[in-house]
Amino acid sequence: MTKSSEAKAAKYAASDLSVKDVYRSVMDAIVDQRLLPGTRLNELAMCEAFKISRREMERVFARLTFEKMVRLVPNRGAFVASPDAREAREIFAARKTIEAGIVELAAARASGADFKALSKNMAEEDAHRRAGRMREAIKLSGQFHLLLSSIADNTILADQVRQLVARTSLVTSLYDNASEMVCWHDDHHKLIDHLRAHQTKRAVDLMRRHLDDLEESLDLDRSISKKTNLRAIFGLDAAKPESISKP
C-alpha cells in the first residue's frame, strides 16, 4: 500500500456503513425525490459524506446503474436517471403485466396477517396524507404494491416490482401533471375489498386500471395536440384588434 492510499484508507476507516447501507440510502433519496432525475452524483463528495472508499462507491453506482436508477456518462460521472417517454411507457406496460399476475397469486394466498399488514399500510398513508406529509404518503403508496408482491410469495416477481416501483418514482417526478397523485388512494381500499371477497377478476381488472390511470395522469406526450391552446400560449387572445392596427 502506498503512503497516499494508506492515508485514504485511514480517512475512510471511520465509516460503519456497508456498500449495502449506502446503496439503500441513495436509492431511498432517489425514490423519495430528494435527489431528482438528472442530478449529478459527485463521486468524491459522496465518498466523503458516507466515509467510504471510491471503490465501494463505484460498487454502489454499478448496482444502481444495473437497476436503471443511475446513468454513468463516460468522462462526466454518475447522474440520477431521467427516463424518456418511451421508457416510461415500457415501465407501465411491464407493471401492468407483472402486477396483474401478482394480484392473482396474492388472491389465492392472502391470509389474515396479510390483510392486517395491508390495512396498516393504508391507515399510515391516510395519516400522512391528512397531515400534509406527502413524501411519506407517496412512499407508503409505493410500499402497498411491494406488500402485495410479498404476499404473492415469488421473489423474482417481487424483485421486478421493487425495481419498477422505484423507476415509477423517477417517471412521476419528471412527468407528473396533477402533482402528488402517485396512487389513487381509494383504489387500494377497493382492491383489498375485492381480495377479501375473493373477487379475483375484479381485483386484477382494478390493478390494471389503477396503473392505466396513473400512466394517463402523466404528461408523456409533450407535443402540440388539438387540445393545445396555441392562442393562449402566444398571447393572441390578449391583443385587441385596435391595438394591433395602431402604430
Minimum distance, C-beta of residue 192 to Zn ion, in the bound complex (Å): 11
Is residue 106 a contact point for Zn ion (CB under 5 A)? no
Least distance from Zn ion to the Cβ atom of residue 145, Å: 6
Distance CA 128, CA 89 (A): 29
The residues in 113-152 that bind Zn ion, with binding defined as CB under 5 A, are none
Nearer to Zn ion, 52 or 148 (CB): 148
Minimal CB distance residue for Zn ion: 183
Contacts of 215 (CB under 8 A, 6+ apart): 88, 89, 92
Q: Which residues, at least 6 apart from 44, have a Cβ–Cβ distance to it below 8 Å?
A: 54
192 binds Zn ion (CB under 5 A): no
Nearest approach, Cβ of residue 149 and Zn ion (Å): 12
Site for Zn ion contains 183 (CB under 5 A): yes
Shortest Cβ 217–Zn ion spacing (Å)? 12
Size of the site for Zn ion (CB under 5 A): 1
Say which residues have a Cβ less than 8 Å from residue 138's Cβ, sequence separation at least 6. 32, 33, 169, 180, 182, 183
Residue 88 or 183 with smaller CB distance to Zn ion: 183
Where does this chain bind Zn ion (CB under 5 A)? 183
